[in-house]
């Protein structure tokens, strides 16, 4: 009985991981993330980046950073090299301050959206 229970736990943990990876993350579902940002990234945006939901997509995908030369804010399918993610994770090499306002859960959702192609959905 004990052993069975253990197996069940391991299985559901693995399943939760798989489900998390394949679960689609739309751009629209990130509104809650950008709510934590648009007090500064608004119509007169700091860092020349507006994260108001009706503007954020065109400001992010394929757009160069205003602060770091050569950096691209969002590179579809490539979360690691997307400057948005690097700022949210306070990675070494960023210019300016950390943007880790939402915490790890929020970054994971942004990563998932980019990994799925950074669609305007």
Residue 107 contacts residue 88 (beta carbons within 8 Å):
yes
Q: What is the C-alpha to C-alpha distance for residues 115 and 48, in angstroms, rounded to an integer?
A: 25
Q: What is the C-alpha to C-alpha distance for residues 121 and 113, in angstroms, rounded to an integer?
A: 10
Residue nearest to ligand HEC (CB): 96
Nearer to ligand HEC, 48 or 120 (CB): 48
CB of 58 to ligand HEC, least distance (A): 13
Residues near ligand HEC (CB under 6 A):
36-37, 39-41, 46-47, 49, 65-68, 73, 83-84, 87-88, 95-97, 99, 101-102
Q: Which residues have a Cβ under 8 Å from the Cβ of 120 and sit 6 or more positions away?
A: 27, 57, 61
CB of 74 to ligand HEC, least distance (A): 9
Nearer to ligand HEC, 57 or 101 (CB): 101
């Amino acid at each position: 009985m004990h052993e069975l229970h253990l197996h069940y736990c391991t299985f559901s943990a693995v399943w939760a991981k798989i489900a998390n990876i394949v679960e689609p993350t739309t751009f629209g579902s990130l509104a809650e993330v950008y709510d934590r940002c648009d007090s500064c990234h608004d119509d007169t945006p700091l860092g020349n980046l507006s994260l108001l939901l009706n503007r954020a997509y065109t400001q992010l995908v394929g757009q160069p950073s205003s602060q770091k030369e050569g950096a691209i804010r969002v590179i579809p399918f490539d979360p690691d090299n997307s400057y948005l993610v690097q700022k949210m994770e306070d990675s070494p090499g960023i210019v300016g301050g950390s943007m880790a306002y939402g915490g790890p859960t929020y970054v994971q959702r942004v990563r998932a959206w980019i990994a799925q192609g950074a669609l305007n959905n």
